[in-house]
Amino acid sequence: MIRGLYRFRCGDEEFDAPPGTVVVLPPHVRHSWRNIGDEPGQLFAMVTPGGFEQLFVDIETSCADTREKIAEIEARMGIINDAVLALRL
């Protein structure tokens, strides 16, 4: 974490991560995070193996500006966006 206070969920575990925290999220385990601080936060993330960066390229080039549009792009990469699923229920 670079700036802010985030709450992470990894599987059944939930924990808070202040600046300076390193979080390792294992592959194939459902996870999420959200900024729970009072100010904008900033994360530095490394994802392996490579290829995930295409998600951000696709979002930018398609001008996706809503949760639903972003969720469509995520779905093409096998990402399930729980926030969008909750809106549809």
Q: Domain spans of the chain?
A: 1-46, 47-89
Question: pTM to 2 decimals?
Answer: 0.72
- Return the pLDDT at 66: 84
- Return the pLDDT at 85: 61
Based on the number of CB atoms within 10 Å of its own CB, is 7 exposed (0-12), middle (13-18) or buried (19 or more)? middle
Give the separation between CA 87 and CA 1, rounded to whole angstroms.
28
pLDDT more than 70, % of the chain: 92
| Rounded mean pLDDT, 17-23 | 94
Comparing CA positions, the residue from 18, 66, 69 lying closest to residue 42 is 18
Confidence check: pLDDT of 2 > 60: yes
Where residue 75 falls among pLDDT bands split at 50, 70, 90?
confident
Give the separation between CA 89 and CA 84, rounded to whole angstroms.
9
